[in-house]
Amino acid sequence: MRQFVVIGLSSFGYHIALQLAKNGCEVMVIDINKDKIQEIKDYVHEAIVADASDKETLKSLGLEKVDGVIVSLGGEMSSSLLTTLYLKELGIKEVIVKVLNEDHGKIVNQIGASSIIFPEKDMAIRLGDTLSSANVLDHFQLSPGFSLLEIAPPKTFIGRAIKNLKIRSQYNIQIIAIRELIPERFNIIPSPDFIIKDSDVLVVLGRDEDLEKLKKL
């Protein structure tokens, strides 16, 4: 069982803790607010009232063996920075920090955060990418320059087998899955002989510049 610690029960912290617990992870939550701890304690493995920006408090909790720590301290940038610093000093390898702005992100990167989350910006970019193309159903950026798209098949794909589309050679992308709506099923790494239907949803992986070309087909 994977073990995670969520520090700070902002809206983001609260919901990530619940989702991790729902997915079968062992979750410890830490917040200085007793009411927030009371609200979530029945849904997680352990809920602690504590000031995580205090180094000795963090030391006493024995977090060294957890799979990851998510720092989500709302509007408290100074507390977020101190907590991130102390977690790295304690040897926590996977420290994920929710940041308030670009400067906050730059500083926690310098401290050594494994990754940063800027929920409002990330969601705005994702929604913008989805809305800008009528045939794009969802858009996930995997890393700078590479994305995963859920996309309705272009008209030129419909009724044709994957192997005949020469997708990798012509478009430099990969179809990694197909979500069929009729009948309802999910095909991971579909067969080259799979015939694409107009009711299918393609899950494709590639460089952003190549995916942009696909969107325009």
Name the pLDDT band for 136 (thresholds 50, 70, 90).
Answer: low
Is residue 142 a contact partner of residue 204, using CB atoms and an 8 Å limit? Answer: no
Structure tokens at 10: 């902002």
CATH, domain range 3-117: 3.40.50.720
Q: Regarding predicted confidence, which is higher, 138 or 101?
A: 101
Delimit the CATH 3.40.50.720 region(s) of the chain.
3-117
pLDDT above 90 (res 142): no
Residue 10 confidence (pLDDT) = 86
Instruction: Pick 122-215's CATH classification: 3.30.70.1450, 3.40.605.10, 2.40.37.10, 3.50.7.10.
Output: 3.30.70.1450
Residue 112 to residue 89: CA distance in whole angstroms: 10
pTM above 0.75, yes or no: no
Structure tokens at 214: 């696909």
Delimit the CATH 3.30.70.1450 region(s) of the chain.
122-215
Structure tokens at 164: 């005949």
Cβ-Cβ contacts under 8 Å for 84 (sequence gap 6 or more): 71, 95, 97, 108, 111, 112, 113
Q: How far is CA 61 from the centre of its chain?
A: 26
Is residue 168 a contact partner of residue 187, using CB atoms and an 8 Å limit? Answer: no
